[in-house]
Structure 1
Amino acid sequence: MVSALAVMKESVLQKQETEVGQLPVDWQVEHLGSLLRRPPAYGINAPAVPYDLRLPAYLRITDITEDGRFNPDGRASVAHSQAGSYSLEDGDIVLARTGASTGKSYLYRPEDGELVFAGFLIRVSPNPDKLLPQYLSYQFQTSGYWNWVRTNSMRSGQPGINGKQYASYPLPVPPTMREQEAIAEALWDADALIESLESLIAKKRAIKQGAMQELLSGQRRLPGFAADWIAGKIGDALSIQHGKSQSAVATNDGPYPILATGGQIGTASAFLWDKPSVLIGRKGTIDRPQYAEKPFWTVDTLFYSIMNGGNVAKFYYYLFCLIDWYAHNEASGVPSLNARTIERIDIKIPHPDEQKAIVTVLDDIEADLENVEAQLSKARQIKQGMMQNLLTGKVRLV
């Protein structure tokens, strides 16, 4: 995304050592407070009320996603006579000041609607003649910023950064607003690609979920299949088996994966089962089915299954993904499932040939989804590299 000319500039520009690392000689390190049009301000201390279109929305730490966006799900309102004084304006950025989310940021976007920021947030308002809000927002996503947050946030055992501390943040600043704008525009393009891929993934996940619900219930039949499905129970199609302790078989370079409720945790010198199997947690995480195609070992908190009568393990993996496993939880403390309870769950069973056909369709949908997810991962990696280069002046755009 960066031009060849910009990359060429990297080798000829002189550098300087600064408190934030190496920067071009024409860049400055400024304290954030000197680039604001007003001092950092704390949000309003007022209770949230149920969301009401007649009232402004309330922006709390929990309403900001990990990637710095406003999450409207579960939004609330605020009813206070002074709420208007705490409404965010175009260009404002809020920063979390306490708790595990200290340092999290959000750049206000007018399309998010009127937002009143809460007391655990601090507002910073860049001076538009000195600092582009979008440029600052990207600086708040860098590893350098987060290292600063970790260093400055620990006090009395509770992470936190106050307004004065945020004002002292050492910010690398290029010599012209034009360069800030060029950097922000390049990174915005990267964000636009990421957002488009995220939207596409959401659509494909919805398509996959709909296809699973229709195909795995017999609501939609594939061409060439018309035989009635047999009413039965999971135990008619497979038998649930207990895992075992891995202590006797665990090894650093074993040929077989050791599976637990959260996925692979090591390798084993021997396998417990060597045929395709659907697995489900016995204790702890009970709502994340897994599918194993090759020989494996499973620990005692993870059930595996042996298929009966030619039934297809991958079909039942997809079916298990639709079951509300917590509805079958048998413990008041740590969630737990019982093998016999699982086997007694009512299902409808198609012929194995139809199971295979359904699996083929769902596998194709899953492969398409994984391809887009891989594109998203690559796009995020590219953005991180761009930020590292552009926000430190290692690569210049103007």
Structure 2
Amino acid sequence: MSNQQRFSGEWKIKRLGEIASIRNQKVMPEDVNPNTLCVELEHIGSGNGQLLENSSAEYSTASKYRFFTGDVLFGRLRSYLRKYWLADRDGICTTEIWPLMVDSKQVDSAFLHAIVQTDEFFAMANLSYGTHMPRTDWTVMCNFTVMLPSMQEQRAIAEVLSDVDGLINALDALIAKKRAIKQATMQQLLTGDTRLPGFSGEWEMKKMGQIGSIYGGLSGKTKTDFEGGNALYVTFLGVLENVILDMRHTERVHVRQGESQNSVMEGDLLFNASSETPGDLAIGAVMGEQLENLYLNSFCFGFRIHDKNKYIPLFFAYYFRGSVGRAIMNALAQGATRYNMSKSQFRDLELSIPSGAEQRAITAVLSDMDAEIAALEQRRDKTIAIKQGMMQQLLTGKVRLVKPER
């Protein structure tokens, strides 16, 4: 049995500017092969180091930076978005991205890629200049302190962290696949194109105004009413985020005794009454529990179903989040820069609706899918947290890896 030995020896302390520099090779897109890879800021994922999409020089304008395989690309514009990528091919990129080339005698590029992901690196990167378009300052970043082990240990650390990244990326891909399957299932089940076993017969046509009644959010409130308070209200974001309301998306408001305000009750559907894009108008969420003194923000409206045995609130929340519901709301959107919807139009909406039993069966299928996706997201988030802890230990030398056997 072999004796496993851990890496040992002192680490060197260096400044970033001593081990890496910006590859300041500017070029115009028309001066390179039109098929050359072009990376813009929006092509890089936030906080995951993935190149989500790309373009080519043929469709690019303005001066670009060249980069080469092994360069670490770092988004200097709005660095709080945490955009970084270890280039696996040559190309050009926007000048809002720094292509960092390493001194290969001192640092491995994959190790530097791990360094730029740390909270400490981003904390310093956020010491930027510019208010509306904050950019990271190289004269500041070049003094960032980096601890360097031997090249062999650098590569070992980078390999371990890369393996964890592989697991995170695989979970992201699986989550995306499950979401796509859910969307396809919603399209089939919420339109009646596919019927669950045991269900047949025609769906009935009903107007929303026959199913329930609309109520408004908070009114007559001033800024001081939202500085603490004796009650809670559902935020605008809370309505958008989840199909079943997450109570973490509530804030405090003061409601005086006897004040005329509409309370949110269990089973109520909540909708945003305005949005910046027509496709995001009136995204439904359902209140899943009964709470006292709960109200709704003034930019949303509530819908209370009269007979919750015949018309299942969660079914309607899924319906209005699905492609059919989105298409209906998109058609009803009014406005130019900001889109709104008439409540009278909402009341007049006529939907094809299955029986209460079929509604329950459909929501059970979709709820199970949501639970599976939520479990995967929780697993991914836990893996990300583990990686952050590993980085804190491995990139500072607090924990040393076992040397690979030769």
Deviations 1:361-396 (A, max 9, x none): 111111111111111111111111111111111211
Determine what percentage of the aligned residue pairs are the same residue: 25
Structure 1 residue 155, shift from structure 2 partner: 5.9
Picking from 364, 371, 381, the partner of 1:377 is: 381
Is the deviation greater in 90-99 or in 312-321?
A: 90-99
Distance 1:43 1:236 in 2: 66
Structure 1 residue 204, shift from structure 2 partner: 0.6
Distance 1:289 1:132 in 2: 49
Q: Which residue of 1 aligns with 2:107?
A: 131
Picking from 278, 281, 293, the partner of 2:269 is: 278
Distance 2:204 2:33 in 1: 51
Distance 1:359 1:156 in 2: 46
Kept in 2: contact 1:98–1:159 (CA 8 A) = yes
Output the amino acid matched with 1:261.
Answer: F
Deviations 1:183-242 (A, max 9, x none): 112211211111111011001101111111100000010111112112333333333222
Kept in 1: contact 2:23–2:99 (CA 8 A) = yes
Picking from 342, 348, 355, the partner of 2:346 is: 342
Distance 2:272 2:132 in 1: 36
Q: Which residue of 1 aligns with 2:148?
A: 173
Q: Which residue of 2 aligns with 1:70?
A: 51
Q: Which residue of 2 aligns with 1:211?
A: 185
Picking from 254, 265, 271, the partner of 2:250 is: 265
* Aligned partner of residue 26 in structure 1, secondary structure: coil
Kept in 2: contact 1:261–1:286 (CA 8 A) = no
Distance 2:168 2:110 in 1: 17
- Over 3 Å counting, the alpha-carbon distance change for 1:378 and 1:318 in structure 2 is same
Kept in 1: contact 2:215–2:262 (CA 8 A) = no
Distance 1:294 1:161 in 2: 46
Q: Which residue of 1 aligns with 2:194?
A: 220
**Which runs of no fewer than 5 residues in structure 2 stay unpaired?**
239-248, 256-260
Q: Which residue of 1 aligns with 2:214?
A: 240
Distance 2:389 2:83 in 1: 20
Distance 1:193 1:205 in 2: 18
* Aligned partner of residue 26 in structure 2, secondary structure: coil
TM-score by structure 2 length? 0.79
| 2:395 aligned with 1:391 | yes
Output the amino acid matched with 1:299.
Answer: N
**Which runs of no fewer than 5 residues in structure 1 stay unpaired?**
14-24
How is 1:1-398 mapped onto 2 (pairs within 5 angstroms)?
26-36=10-20, 39-44=21-26, 46=28, 55-67=35-47, 68-72=49-53, 75-78=55-58, 87-98=66-77, 104-110=83-89, 114-151=90-127, 153-154=128-129, 159-161=134-136, 165-174=140-149, 176-245=150-219, 257-263=232-238, 264-267=249-252, 272-284=263-275, 286-295=281-290, 296-309=294-307, 310-322=310-322, 323-324=325-326, 325-398=329-402
Q: How many residues align?
A: 366
* Aligned partner of residue 369 in structure 2, secondary structure: helix
* Aligned partner of residue 231 in structure 1, secondary structure: strand
TM-score by structure 1 length? 0.80
* Aligned partner of residue 266 in structure 1, secondary structure: strand
Kept in 2: contact 1:28–1:172 (CA 8 A) = yes
Distance 2:197 2:311 in 1: 20
* Aligned partner of residue 10 in structure 2, secondary structure: coil
